[in-house]
Amino acid sequence: MNYSIGKFSQMMGVSIYTLRYYEKLGLIVPVRRDNGQRRYSENDVTWLQFIKRLKATGMPIKEIQTYAELRSNGDSTMPQRMEMLVIHRTALKEEIAKLQEHLENLDNKIDYYQCCLKGFSTVEFVERQ
């Protein structure tokens, strides 16, 4: 099975513009074309899902570009790719830890001020709930 850019865009939740932009950057290049029109495969589905994951976890496009280049050079680049992923995982763990800390702090602030609010303007506050 293969998909036109319109179908693929819809399935993946990525705009046609973005797909062509990613192709220009070498992130995702469909292997086939019919009369000049892109044909995306199942393989492209899983690959774009992975790209989206990398993006969602804050990897900059330049780095994804590097990864994609390694990938297109075949299985012999697996070690380097794994190295990149391991490094990225570490960064991600740190980011999560940092966010968790910020969340606690935010919780405390909210608790603190909701106490105060109860003191001097309960009505106002209750109205907004």
**Strand residue runs (E) in 1-120:** 2-3, 32-34, 37-41
Establish if 92 lies at the interface with DNA (CB under 7 A): no
Give the CA count within 13 Å in the CB-facing half-sphere of 87: 9
- Contact call for residue 91 and its own copies (CB under 8 A): no
In the complex, least distance from residue 20 CB atom to its own copies, rounded to whole angstroms = 26
47 binds its own copies (CB under 8 A): no
CA angle at residue 50 from 86 to 34, to 5 degrees?
140
Query: Does residue 128 belong to the site contacting DNA (CB under 7 A)?
Result: no
Note whether 83 binds its own copies by CB under 8 A: yes
Taking CB within 5 to 8 Å according to partner kind, which of its own copies, DNA, none is near residue 105? Answer: its own copies
